Structure 1
């Protein structure tokens, strides 16, 4: 069975998503009903919702909406990775409020859509350190040229588990393997970092990517992190830009050809179950 650690749901009638205006292909409603219909056919048994960079004032409402959906009959949703703003003075109070809700499993602040120096601010770094001892994870969604900034954050809180989203966001279409490879090797040396096998078809040629295009990237992250520190995510609906959910599941299975059943289990479910204590 598969645990999807990276599902995005979009309900434009309930929340505001300012960035959608610049991505017409995703400027639509992507609902739980649409996702779960396909997911249940593919063996996806549990899901974590990943924040969708809603307008800051809608951050609490996003968590509330997903928690509401988790209470529907036969829901697979087991928790959320909530949005946050560590650069804001209100983060400490926000963190304490979220700690009181066991449905919140971790946080993410998308950093490739803001100036590079946001994560270098003293308040941002102080607030990241506040995650120490909480058991909450922090997802890193950063571009290859930002890897030094990612390493700096990881080193601030050695007991916090950081998740490197989308294999480190490689520029597959632009053949950016060499630049990306070095950074992956460096951040993988930090024991508190995990890598998420997700999203990479969206970084290739959307209409013409092949399995061979993705193989070098998959093989390197597994070589650097090992199967003990890799987890799987769909990145739905972003994955629809490069083929869709079923295509990505089948592609992952093909990338895993020749791997052991134990290795596949760790990637698809075992590691995620351990990190977030999922039943």
Structure 2
């Protein structure tokens, strides 16, 4: 089976500065660590690196570093950091990114921005510049911010947008799991009405404290498949973020094999639902990110 990991992170705190790192994530996750976390059943596996929130002034340094280790890590595409609300510097930044053939899109991390941020005129202008340059946009938001992504998709229909992590729905706890919230399911359906939007089957383990429980996650995967269909789903590991057990009594810990476990959970679900696994795990991501 061929696999594109559409949402992979890499970092090395001795190379770049990541202010948000803490606990088990405050360590190097680069070439050696990724090679020790393969997808076991994949006959071929490649990846799309998604920016890992290094400090803003190191955004280009992050791309340069990932590009340098791309052959060793199987990274075929890079989703770079870009601040779309700063028009005075955005064009120059995108020009610099264009020097790297592997850069296929950008992410302005929205989950920490105020509600409505992606609806502002200046942000929409930046998004239109992405579309004009043939780049994609990764939308990483929390569930209550999905309407902002809907508004963005309305405003810039020519911009390919992918919703990271299914919009981070609330899954509850291991002791008390939650069913998909009505608001989240409604907003996901409204978002799926926009043909320029895809969704990543990623991040659910992180929303479940790093513990993969198929029974808890399947209803959310089902909801995404129902409204987006198999042509607009893509799988991502969210490694190493989704491979950290934050519910461990002794403190968070990295779970060896977590990446492969999430792949097998999603693969078994897709097969059980009769979905075209080659599309979900391979060709959809390649087409969206225009990787040839």
Q: TM-score, normalised by structure 2?
A: 0.88
Task: Establish whether residue 195 from structure 1 lines up as the match of residue 199 from structure 2.
Answer: yes
Task: Give 2:157's aligned residue.
Answer: 158
Structure 2 vs 1, CA of residues 40 and 246 (structure 1 numbering), >3 Å: closer, same or farther? closer
* CA–CA distance in structure 1, aligned partners of residues 272 and 71 of structure 2: 39
1:102-150 CA deviation, whole Å, 9 max, x = no partner? 2100000111112224323322221111122322110000111111211
**Structure 1 residues 234-259: Cα deviation after superposition (integer angstroms, max 9, x where no partner):** 10001212551121111112212324
User: What is the CA-CA distance between 1:69 and the residue it aligns to?
Assistant: 0.3
2:191–2:197 contact (8 Å) kept in structure 1: yes
Match of 1:134 in 2: 133
Deviations, residues 148-207 of structure 1 (Å, cap 9, x unaligned): 211111122211110000111111116252221111011000010000011111112545
Is residue 2:64 matched to residue 1:64? yes
Alpha-carbon separation, structure 2, partners of 1:222 and 1:33: 34
Unpaired segments ≥5 residues, structure 1: none
Superposed, which structure 2 residues align to 1:224-235 within 5 Å?
224-235=227-238
Pairing of 1:141-220 with structure 2 (within 5 A): 141-173=140-172, 175=178, 177-207=181-211, 210-220=213-223
Equivalent residue pairs, number: 273
Partner of 1:257: 271
* RMSD of Structure 2 on Structure 1 (CA): 1.8
Is contact 1:99-1:134 (8 Å) kept?
no
**1:210, 1:222 → 2: CA distance?**
18
Residue in structure 2 matched with residue 14 of structure 1 by the alignment: 15
Work out whether residues 67 and 79 of structure 1, in 8 Å CA contact, stay in contact via their aligned partners in 2: no
2: CA distance between counterparts of 1:92 and 1:130? 8
Name the structure 1 match of 2:250: none
More divergent stretch after superposition (46-55 vs 167-176)? 167-176
Structure 2: tracts of 5 or more residues without a match: 246-254
In the aligned structure 1, how far is the partner of 2:206 from the partner of 2:131? 33
Q: Equivalences for 1:116-135 in 2 at 5 Å?
A: 116-135=115-134
Bigger mean CA deviation after superposition, 217-226 or 247-256: 247-256
Instruction: Name the residue aligned to 1:85.
Output: 83
Cα distance in 2 between the residues matched to 1:96 and 1:121: 23
Q: Which runs of 4+ in 1 moved over 3 A?
A: none
Q: TM-score, normalised by structure 1?
A: 0.92
Q: Secondary structure at the match of 1:113?
A: coil
Q: CA deviation at 1:275?
A: 1.9
Give the Å deviation of 1:40: 5.6
Decide whether aligned partners of structure 1 residues 206 and 79 sit closer, same or farther in structure 2, where only a CA change above 3 A counts: closer
Counterpart Cα distance in 1 of 2:265 and 2:31: 23
**Contact preservation (8 Å) 1:173, 1:205:** no
